[in-house]
Structure 1
Amino acid sequence: MTSLYEEQTNQVALKKQLVSSISHELKTPLMIMQVTIQGILDGVIPDEEQAEELLNVVDEINKSSIMIQDMLQIYRLDDAKSELEISEFSLSNCIYHFIDGFDAVIKQHNLQINLDIKKDIMIEADNKLIKRVISNFFTNAIKYTPENERIDIEISDTKNEAYFELINYGANIDPENLENIWMPFFRGEDSNTKERLKTKGTGIGLYLVSEILKAHNCRFGIENVDKGVKSYFYINKKVE
């Protein structure tokens, strides 16, 4: 009973910290938007530079919107049973959408994608949220895999569980960082890869992933393997 109480207390404290951190993180884009728009209205920013500056404002709006949506989703997951939209779908088919979406980046950096996907693995889960998990794992792999290296993705199953495993090769995560990787706003940026994707992360992606997978009673993790990093989750095929 004491352990459960302490866990709940820690979760409440973490949520409060998250709200405080997001409030702080939102101050910067809001200031950028305010200064830029005011500069245009005051005539300080030349006409030929206004289009580019407004595009920067749009980027900041999009980033702020995603951050707010992520925060709202985290709070919805507190009441997971009523919020999860359970349906039956093919876990096997989920990954292809993301590979197609990153095709240009994959080719540009000569990344090799190896797929070992068993067909027609059906699960009962929240389709949108599970895709969010896969998207986060795959996006991180694309960001942090060095050029000319490979990414292995395996989807398999047993009678009762489905397995998703992704390994990106070329580098390990610092063991000290592994302990903090699920915390909000923790970033292990690599200066060689952080500019690879146009869309920057909000800093709460993996924390949201952990909340989604906990709501689905999954076993999951991120760990170092030989010359690479493994991201995985194991999910029950049927809702218990």
Structure 2
Amino acid sequence: MKKSIRKRLAVTFMGLIALSVLLTGVVSYAFLPRYYLSKKAETLEHSWDLIDIDKDVSIDSGIRLLQFCINNNLNMIGTDSNLKTIWSYATDQEKQKMQVDLFGYVVVDDYRNVADVIKKTDKYQVQRFHDANVNLDYLELWGKMGNGGYYLVRTPLQSIRDASNLSNQFYFFIGFLILIAGGAAIWYLTKRIVKPIQELTGISQRMADLDFDAKYASGGEDEIGELGNNFNKMSKTLERTITELKTANVELQSDIDKKTEIDEMRKEFLSNVTHELKTPIALIQGYAEGLKDCVNDDDESRDFYCDVIIDESQKMNQMVKKMLTLNQLEFGNEQVEMERFDLADLIRGVLHSSHILIEQKEAHIIFDPDGPVIVWGDEFKVEEVFTNYLTNALNHLNDEKTIEITCEKTDDVVKTTVFNTGDPIPDEDMDNIWIKFYKVDKARTREYGGSGIGLSIVRAIMDSLHQKYGAINYENGVAFWFTLESD
């Protein structure tokens, strides 16, 4: 099952955020009340520092102390040496309670033992006190001032707990929002990060399928961009290497086949050449002797004799060229250069160069590919195959005089078919048309100068490329076809 790196990154980062929020919440829940308590104790101690302890509290210090208590939610009383209240900031009920508690702290030793002392100095002590009458806990400071009077300041611990709980609730709420917002941001950022990696994954898959047109296009100057550029370089190197390997493989296969066939090919070649050249040589010899013996003295007869000699010489010249080409192919002297090219462009080029012959034959050509047809092969030799098919179709064109050319791709193979309207090939001749010098209709072949070598050249070329070829009869004509590897 495929695992998404984007999901893994997102889950990992969101997990880290959630863990951070959770750990911070646990720490806050465990230590925030203590922190508040410590800070509140410092506040109480600061209120003591605002008192002029060497003499009666001055007006200015009293105002500062009063304002400080109001701002920090503190209740306080100050007394003379006889514990008589001389100034305070508290409700009447709270004031009475504080007077009683201060009297107990000063006079009754057991009363002091009830409180939980947090900090004690030679002047004051900070303590936690539980008032059982109202079931409340207080944090308070009391001590004896320099003028002999006493001072008590306190604040309810419940307010500290409430503030701590409220802070924790607010933190968890903010943490939840951070988790949601962070998750959305991480999902977006991981998409930006993973996108070029996904592109590289697709490119690597296409390269594995030998599609070397795949290129990394996202760019970038980071490590991923550098990796993409390396992919592009690797694609070019692999394409060049595979091209060389295909060429070497074809050459090796040709060498193996050549060694087993060379002797028989020589014998067959000499026999066929002797047979094919016998007739034109006899004609040339006969008409030349007639000219020499002045069989006919008129100019028209001499021109006819000369035209026959020239025509037979041209046919022999074309036949010799084709035989040499075929000989080179069958002996493996022609090196196969494997490369990728557009077969549709090749076909259009051959049709364009043959337009004069097409017009002379009054042929109607049908060729309409959907787009480029990229194949592997020796472009020069494939052009020779298609040219022979086209020439053969033009020479045997009848009826509607239509030639239809198609390129059909199936899996990794492109099948090219050249169909021409006309007479079908007799079934008994279908397997022999690929044999050198074989002619189905010798009279008609002689008429347009055919030597019976063209389809043999097709066979030799397709064998050298290790591809398939053939012919199919239809009611209204014949279709010749061959295959090539595609991307």
State whether structure 2 residue 294 is matched by structure 1 residue 43.
yes
Structure 1 unpaired stretches of 5+ = none
Tell me the TM-score normalized by structure 1. Answer: 0.78
Name the SS of the counterpart of 1:117 in structure 2: coil
Tell me, in whole angstroms, the C-alpha distance in 1 between the residues paired with 2:355 and 2:447. 16
Q: Using the alignment, how far apart are the partners of 1:190 and 1:39 within structure 2?
A: 26
1:235 is aligned to 2:235: no
Distance 1:127 1:49 in 2: 47
1:17 aligns with 2:274: no
User: Which amino acid in 1 is paired with 2:471?
Assistant: I
User: 2:80: which partner in 1?
Assistant: none
Q: Is the 8 A contact 2:262 2:331 kept in 1?
A: no
Within the candidate set 164, 180, 187, 2:432 is matched to 180
Out of 83, 92, 102, the residue aligned to residue 357 of structure 2 is 102
Among the aligned pairs, what percent are the same residue? Answer: 25
Matches within 5 A, 1:1-240: 12-13=263-264, 15-46=266-297, 47-80=299-332, 83-85=335-337, 89-95=341-347, 96-97=351-352, 99-107=354-362, 111-157=363-409, 160-189=412-441, 194=444, 199-237=448-486
CA distance in 2, matches of 1:56, 1:41: 15
| Structure 2: distance between partners of 1:76 and 1:67 | 14
Question: Structure 2 vs 1, CA of residues 50 and 224 (structure 1 numbering), >3 Å: closer, same or farther?
Answer: same
8 A contact 2:358–2:394 mirrored in 1: no
The answer to whether the 8 A contact 1:121-1:156 is kept is no
* Counterpart residue type for residue 61 of structure 1: S
User: 1:54 deviation in Å?
Assistant: 1.9
Contact 1:182 1:206 in 2 (8 A): yes
SS class of match (2:388): helix
- Separation (CA, whole Å) in 1 of partners of 2:293 and 2:442: 39
By relative contact order (CA 8 Å, sep 6+), the higher-ranking structure is: 1
Secondary structure of the 1:203 match is: coil
Offset at residue 68 of structure 1 (A): 1.8
How far the C-alpha of 1:149 sits from its partner, in A, is: 4.3
Q: Report SS of the residue matched to 1:186.
A: coil
Per-residue deviation, 1:69: 1.9
* Cα offsets for 1:6-31 (capped at 9, x unmatched): 99767743542232121121122112
Q: Determine the C-alpha separation between the residues in 2 that align with 1:6 and 1:159.
A: 28
Q: 1:190, 1:34 → 2: CA distance? A: 22
**CA shift at 1:85, angstroms?**
5.0
Larger helix proportion of the pair: 2
Structure 2 CA distance for aligned equivalents of residues 134 and 6 of structure 1 = 24
- The answer on whether the counterparts of 2:407 and 2:416 sit within 8 Å (CA) in structure 1 is yes
Return the index of the structure with the highest Cα Rg: 2
Cα deviation code 1:156-177 (max 9, x no counterpart): 4467443311122343222111
Q: Distance in 1 between matches of 2:342 and 2:451?
A: 28
8 A contact 1:168–1:229 mirrored in 2: yes
Distance in 2 (alpha carbons) for counterparts of 1:163 and 1:75: 26
TM-score by length of 2: 0.41
CA distance in 2 between counterparts of 1:136 and 1:6 reads: 24
User: 1:224: how far off?
Assistant: 1.8
Q: Deviations over 1:159-209 (max 9, x none)?
A: 744331112234322211112121122211287xx38x9641112221121
Change (3 A) 1:209 1:125: same
CA distance in structure 2 between the partners assigned to 1:209 and 1:6 by the alignment: 17
Q: Secondary structure at the match of 1:173?
A: coil
The whole-number CA distance in structure 2 between the counterparts of 1:170 and 1:203 is 19
- Does the aligned pair in 2 maintain the 1:222–1:229 contact within 8 Å? yes
Counterpart of 2:344, as a letter, is S
Sort the Cα spacing of 1:29 and 1:79 in 2 relative to 1 into closer, same or farther, 3 A.
closer
Give the distance between the partners of 2:369 and 2:258, measured in 1 at CA: 37
Distance 2:389 2:355 in 1: 15
CA pair 215-63 structure 1, distance change in 2 beyond 3 A: same
8 Å CA contact 2:376, 2:484 repeated in 1: no
The one-letter code sitting in structure 1 at the alignment partner of 2:275 is H
Aligned length: 228
**How far is the alpha carbon of 1:86 from its aligned partner?**
5.2
Aligned-partner Cα distance in 2 for 1:215–1:75: 13
- RMSD, aligned α-carbons: 3.2
Q: In structure 2, do the counterparts of structure 1 residues 176 and 236 end up closer, same or farther at CA, with 3 Å as the change threshold?
A: same
CA distance in 2, matches of 1:221, 1:104: 27
Moved more, 70-79 or 121-130: 121-130
Q: Within 1, Cα distance between the matches of 2:448 and 2:475?
A: 29
